Amino acid sequence: MAPLRLSRVPSVAVEILRLLVVLFGAGIGYQVAKALGADEHEQVLGTFSGLWLGAIVGALAGYVVGGVLARLTLRTIDRGERALEGISAEQAIAGSFGAVVAAIFAAAVSWPLFLVGPPLVMIPIFLFLVGAAAMFGFRMGRARRDAVLGAVGERAGLAPRTPSLVSLPRLVDTSVAIDGRVLDVVRSGFLHGRFLVPQPVVDELQSMADSGDDLRRAKGRRGLDVLESLRREHGVELLTVPDEAMAVMDVDAKLVRMSIDRNCALLTFDTNLAKAASIAGVKVLNLHALALALRPLVVVGDEVDLHLLKAGKEAGQAVGYLDDGTMVVTEHARDRVGTECRVVVTSVLTTANGRLVFAKPALAGAGR
């Protein structure tokens, strides 16, 4: 599964940065020619004076050097973006705020350039530095929008110091991908936003998918399919992020470390991992605990004490209710209506109106 990345800066940005270097090169060439004693009115090459020739040569050199510098600058910024892309943000506002702050900082640091040389030479390089800093600030602010907006809101008294669990990006572990029920939770609307899949998890699933054991191979392929399906879900942004805990060998320990470093919520079905992560101070979304919380109060085979209130629709049936109001239809218990009866659950049905439980008396032959 190829990693998803934020969109790259269009090529026009490269040309703008190249143009600034061209202007800088032209200014340098002009100043060099002037320092060598070239006369503005003395023609050296056709209609070009020595000063103009110096400016043209400098501009050509700036065109070549500017293209290289622009691409190197954007490549460096792009690497920084990939390192931060997994951190949630409100892109537009936070990015703009980051760009403004970075541009002001770059301008404050770079203005002494005008004390070094003539403005014609220093203006392009000054604009280059400010533009590059603003671009990097925008990307950093966009990638870290939650942190940026949280800090700004906190200063303004509009936001709490600690982000809510719902707004945090989720770091997905292997158990979530293999289980697959996360898709149902997402489609129900209870989970959305940014999901981060660490590269070690993808590697582990790929290793399982290539395993010679049929069961492991099926689990690995299912996990990769679930991640691909999750990526296509509406309201979900799924990103793969690099291994940022290279010194840690165990995958579970890597997840805990990355959750702490990125301030993410760990999304898992692994109860033991959830406990270890909670002890380490990680915010955990334990889907196994959610499944337990949402399971029926009774399951097939459970024995419960039930007060039978009335006769059922079918012959021999009696009806009682659990504490949560679930109707329990007990077979062969009509003569027990009005009494307390211990029953065994035989089936649990989910209907449009809720759950319906069927049971029989716990003692063989009771109620007949």
How far lies 50's CA from each of 5, 23, 28, in Å? 49, 17, 13
CA distance 213 to 193: 35
Please compute the mean of the pLDDT values over residues 65-76 and round it to a whole number: 69
User: CA–CA separation, 261 vs 38, rounded Å?
Assistant: 59
CA–CA dist 96, 177 (Å, integer): 35
Per cent of the chain over pLDDT 90 is: 22
Q: Which tens digit of pLDDT belongs to each residue from 108-160?
A: 888 777 777 677 667 777 788 888 888 887 777 666 655 555 555 555 554 44
DSSP E strands, 204-288: 236-241, 265-268, 283-286
H or E element: which one contains 347?
strand 340-351
Of 49-58, 79-88, 119-128, 218-227, the least confident: 79-88
Determine how β-strand 283-286 pairs with β-strand 265-268.
parallel
In this structure, the dihedral spanned by the alpha carbons of residues 121, 127, 128 and 134, taken in order and rounded to 10 degrees, is: 170
Whether residue 89 has pLDDT greater than 50: no
* pLDDT averaged over every residue in the chain: 77
Q: What percent of the chain has pLDDT over 70?
A: 68
Average pLDDT estimate for 172-177: 92
Per DSSP, the residues of 120-161 read HHHHHHHHHHHHHHHHHHHHHHHHTHHHHHHHHHHHHT-S-S
Decide if pLDDT at 222 tops 90: yes
Q: What is the pLDDT of residues 43-69, one digit of tens each?
A: 555 555 556 666 676 677 766 666 666
The structural domains of the chain, ordered by start, are 11-152 (no CATH), 165-294 (3.40.50.1010), 303-361 (2.40.50)
Q: How far apart are CA 155 and CA 191, in angstroms?
A: 29
Which 3 state secondary structure label does DSSP give 329? strand
Question: What's the confidence (pLDDT) of residue 175?
Answer: 92
Per-residue buried b or exposed e for 275-286, using 16+ beta carbons within 10 Å of the residue's own CB:
ebbeeeebbbbb
Q: Residues 34, 27: contact at Cβ < 8 Å?
A: no
Outline where 239-347 has alpha helix (H): 251-262, 271-279, 287-294
Q: Lowest-confidence range among 43-57, 80-94, 178-192, 200-214?
A: 80-94
The answer to whether 195 touches 287, Cβ cutoff 8 Å, is: no
Report whether 251 contacts 174 (CB < 8 A).
yes
Q: What pLDDT band is residue 204 in, cutting at 50, 70 and 90?
A: very high
Q: Give the C-alpha separation, 147 to 93, whole Å.
A: 12
For residue 363, report the phi and psi dihedrals to the nearest 5 degrees: -90, 130
Greatest alpha-carbon span in the chain: 123
- Whether this prediction's pTM lies above 0.75 is answered by no
pLDDT of 224 > 90? The answer is yes
Number of Cβ within 10 Å of residue 71's Cβ equals 14
Q: What is the pLDDT of residue 118?
A: 74
**Position 172 confidence tier, pLDDT thresholds 50, 70, 90:** very high
End-to-end CA distance of the chain: 62
- For residues 308 and 319, is the Cβ–Cβ distance under 8 A? yes
pLDDT band at 87 (very low <50, low <70, confident <90, very high): very low
Tokens of 304: 């419960």
- The tokens for 154 are 């906190």
Rounded CA-CA distance 322/348 in Å is 13
For 288-341, what is each residue's pLDDT tens digit?
A: 888 877 776 788 888 888 999 999 888 999 999 987 788 899 998 898 898 998
Phi, psi of 308 (to 5 degrees): -80, 115
Using CA atoms, how far apart are residues 185 and 289, in angstroms rounded to an integer?
A: 13
What letter represents residue 274's amino acid? Answer: A
